[in-house]
């Protein structure tokens, strides 16, 4: 009588020729809710409203000394691109919309982080913080989509 093993593994076995995929998705580094939030256009719309509001405040005839490197046109166009990324996500293409907002958020942060920290004023710090948060909201989805 031959002995048979009645306990078979439920896990599939890998053959010697199968490629291994042992990487951990970037989205698993962040809290569970951030993955769901990255499918929403709301953070992009918040950044768009904040950036356009900053642009319109630059047009005020009575204004404080300049507190950031961006004037009316750059701040306005960043707001427009954030809004367009939100529209793309709202229309159903969450991966490309998230990529668009993440790319423009990283560019905004690159251009405006140092001047905002140097100014130490609430408006440029708040705007840069809002845009910087978009990197953490949309970054994992973009990274997983393009490299995962």
H-helix or E-strand spanning residue 77:
helix 72-90
Tell me: the pLDDT tens digits for 4-38? 555 554 444 555 555 555 555 555 555 555 557 87
pLDDT of residue 102: 92
The predicted pLDDT at position 61 comes to 56
Of the pLDDT bands very low, low, confident and very high (cuts 50, 70, 90), residue 101 is very high
- Can you spell out the DSSP letters for 41-52? SHHHHHHHHHHH
């Amino acid at each position: 009588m031959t002995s048979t093993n009645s306990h078979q593994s439920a896990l599939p076995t890998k053959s010697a020729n199968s490629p291994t995929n042992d990487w951990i998705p970037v989205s698993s580094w962040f809290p569970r809710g951030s993955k769901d939030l990255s499918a929403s256009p709301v953070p992009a719309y918040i950044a768009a409203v904040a950036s356009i509001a900053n642009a319109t405040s630059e047009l005020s005839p009575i204004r404080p000394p300049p507190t950031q490197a961006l004037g009316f046109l750059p701040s306005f166009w960043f707001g427009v691109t954030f809004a367009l990324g939100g529209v793309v996500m709202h229309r159903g293409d969450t991966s490309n919309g998230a990529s668009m907002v993440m790319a423009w958020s990283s560019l905004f942060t690159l251009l405006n982080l140092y001047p905002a920290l140097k100014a130490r004023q609430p408006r440029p710090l708040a705007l840069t913080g809002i845009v910087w948060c978009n990197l953490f909201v949309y970054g994992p989805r973009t990274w997983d989509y393009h490299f995962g």
